[in-house]
Structure 1
């Protein structure tokens, strides 16, 4: 179909005026619009708008499309955001028109930019149902809000608008680790199935399987997956559970580029027997956080390490035994490492800026954010709690609730406060509270996603002012 359904001739005087100016006239569905060539070319090369900008000023292009939606997309080009009246339109209509004009990427950026996440305004806005009877085991998001959910042997994917979904069947009995490499590709692994599989979720097949060649030549299972903008990190454990390692892959070629944290377990060396079960890239420090824990007769023990991937050296580590962690996360914006105590269920932090001098290489240096509750009758209050960071905010699950911790700035001017103060807020409205236990928590674009125990769906939390 040609881009222009017709054209209108203009006289020489009009041509001279139009040629001297930078104004472009466009007839969309019988309604005349005027804009500048700079606005049209801001859509990028090879888009519908760039072709209009390059057209002859002798003609006014006619486009047989919806003029009301065109006006919204033109505002998007002018300001980078949709106008408030866009809430009166169906999102799917906006998507179809943005695809026609070749500016869907601009629409995604306007609606799903991570910088637009408003932590204090998040409300439960949508429930995404999954096919089958299996509850989600894990999920992963892309920066602009696409979502991959593992449930049983299946992975269900939602596009950035959450309007389109597709489900593929994997070779796993259950998926334990998942990384969204792109909206169409994911890396998946299981604790009881050898190898990391790179899945094409559009075509529903395995592109390739990545394995760790350990000393015993046995198979290797995946315990955790993480990534930086350029690399993918995979925690492997041999099927005999006598060795473990973290492999570093180039994210584009998926070729191995380094190996760190290789442990061969001999005798009762419990610490080295613990593989990393969570990997998080710390962008501001160019370090990889790796944490893992183990439950034994004497309780839960674990370790947290910060790796310099380039040198393969540990720059800081701590062993946890007294109140080991249920989960760990690093907040770049606050320069803090957070954990949830598996016994107490309390949130703790330690300052990243003091780690290099060795002061915090002791679990006693954790600062408790809560009430320092004592464990009663050996009950582990923190089992299953999750903690994640987004920007300068920290989100911690407690049963069916989500706590938001944010730093309170004290003092003015050059006055400094010695102790950092973080304040807790409960997320959502009263009707959102007291539901089933939260099992997974993640962020994608301007949304928060979570799953609950024994529920076959994903909750979507979004800022009310960002909804369309």
Structure 2
């Protein structure tokens, strides 16, 4: 796209603004301004004129801020412009992504800072906290899922009528998949698709066994890059394992049944590995007395890698509380209640943990009722959160 000299004039709320096509093109194709360009990013003009005027009946102060953002790439909000009003106007123009990016900046794991917080029982004692695609999040707590936008303003909560929520995962900014416990004697529980804006149930994902619909408890959730939904499932008879549904049609397309002596149906965590097209399944203490971590290949219904602490010495107090696969280093990282990190090599068919102790660093810092540690990966960095701290490591430490 070359630099254009065509000027464009706007009359916004009886205030006149003049800018260039180059500045407007920075808004992108999906914005209101993107419709002013043809497929070659040439400005559409009337009667061959070089200057056109468009009337928009919106707030002129907010328009000035957004135009300056497109011109400079920086966001400056004057004291006379309420932030919520600016965000509403940015949504109208299709510039909310630009505003969010300018306000928060790129994520830097080496410079973590608290941007904003939500207090209350649900965020402080949630079953699961999941980040949304638009910068918001949802918090599962009991039979409720509390949904927050990127400004941490709460939307109407999603209520499952006393069914305990086990996990939640975002499909897009408007939809959330939620898994919940089965209620005996009632056709409830399982997995459902809900509106993140209204809390409305839009679809229920069914489990079929021998051509019959079965009641089940939905557990850990995950998506792959092929629009497939995975969930751990615990039924009343044979429906123990990992279910697979087509995200577009909502129909069940496969089921990996739990083998004898192993645990899949009560998994705490699922993680899709894009490089190997396999699914990491982790069932962890205290949900089960022993921990089970495996790598499943749905293409041939095989378990290509596995590890369990069955047979570990009774004196070993290191119980795995979370696990995450790191494909770049062909390893699985685990963490125990003392925030010790352990690593296992995925290139060996049966895993064994190589622990890297941090207990001495944490000695004297453990609170009376510590939270379970959680692991996350982002662009080559490993994050371990526990209690009121987040530790950041290079993911290459697993090599």
TM-score calculated relative to the size of structure 1: 0.67
Q: 1:165 corresponds to which residue? A: 155
Q: Is the alpha carbon distance of 1:320 and 1:259 closer, same or farther for their aligned partners in structure 2, counting shifts above 3 Å?
A: same
Structure 1 contact 349–369 (Cα < 8 Å) conserved:
no
Partner Cα separation in structure 1 for residue 44 and residue 342 of structure 2: 59
Partner Cα separation in structure 2 for residue 259 and residue 69 of structure 1: 52
Q: Is the alpha carbon distance of 1:287 and 1:70 closer, same or farther for their aligned partners in structure 2, counting shifts above 3 Å?
A: same
Task: Spell out the pairing of 1:57-456 with structure 2 (5 A cutoff).
Answer: 57=49, 59-63=52-56, 65-78=58-71, 81-83=73-75, 85-86=76-77, 90-111=82-103, 116-129=106-119, 135-193=125-183, 194-214=189-209, 219-229=215-225, 230-239=227-236, 244-260=240-256, 262-263=257-258, 265=260, 269=261, 271-272=262-263, 275-293=266-284, 300-321=289-310, 322=312, 323-332=318-327, 335-341=330-336, 345-351=339-345, 355-356=346-347, 358=348, 361-364=350-353, 366-371=354-359, 384-398=372-386, 400-407=387-394, 420=397
Task: Spell out the pairing of 1:26-37 with structure 2 (5 A cutoff).
Answer: 26-28=10-12, 33-37=17-21
Q: Is the alpha carbon distance of 1:370 and 1:87 closer, same or farther for their aligned partners in structure 2, counting shifts above 3 Å?
A: farther
Q: CA deviation at 1:222?
A: 1.3
Partner-residue secondary structure (3-state), 2:372 = coil
Partner-residue secondary structure (3-state), 1:94 = helix
Structure 2 contact 178–192 (Cα < 8 Å) conserved:
yes
Partner-residue secondary structure (3-state), 1:117 = coil
Q: Is the alpha carbon distance of 1:334 and 1:25 closer, same or farther for their aligned partners in structure 2, counting shifts above 3 Å?
A: farther
Structure 2 contact 234–265 (Cα < 8 Å) conserved:
no
Aligned residues, how many?
369
Structure 2 contact 333–398 (Cα < 8 Å) conserved:
no
Q: Is the alpha carbon distance of 1:201 and 1:100 closer, same or farther for their aligned partners in structure 2, counting shifts above 3 Å?
A: closer
Q: Which has the higher contact order (CA 8 A, sep 6+)?
A: 1
Partner Cα separation in structure 2 for residue 218 and residue 255 of structure 1: 14
Q: Is the alpha carbon distance of 1:122 and 1:34 closer, same or farther for their aligned partners in structure 2, counting shifts above 3 Å?
A: same
Please identify which structure carries the higher strand content. 1
Deviations 1:321-358 (A, max 9, x none): 4344111112356554210135x54111234xxx33x2
TM-score calculated relative to the size of structure 2: 0.77
Q: Is the alpha carbon distance of 1:158 and 1:310 closer, same or farther for their aligned partners in structure 2, counting shifts above 3 Å?
A: same
Q: CA deviation at 1:408?
A: 9.1
Partner Cα separation in structure 1 for residue 108 and residue 67 of structure 2: 26
Partner Cα separation in structure 1 for residue 78 and residue 297 of structure 2: 47
Q: CA deviation at 1:318?
A: 1.6
Partner-residue secondary structure (3-state), 1:396 = strand
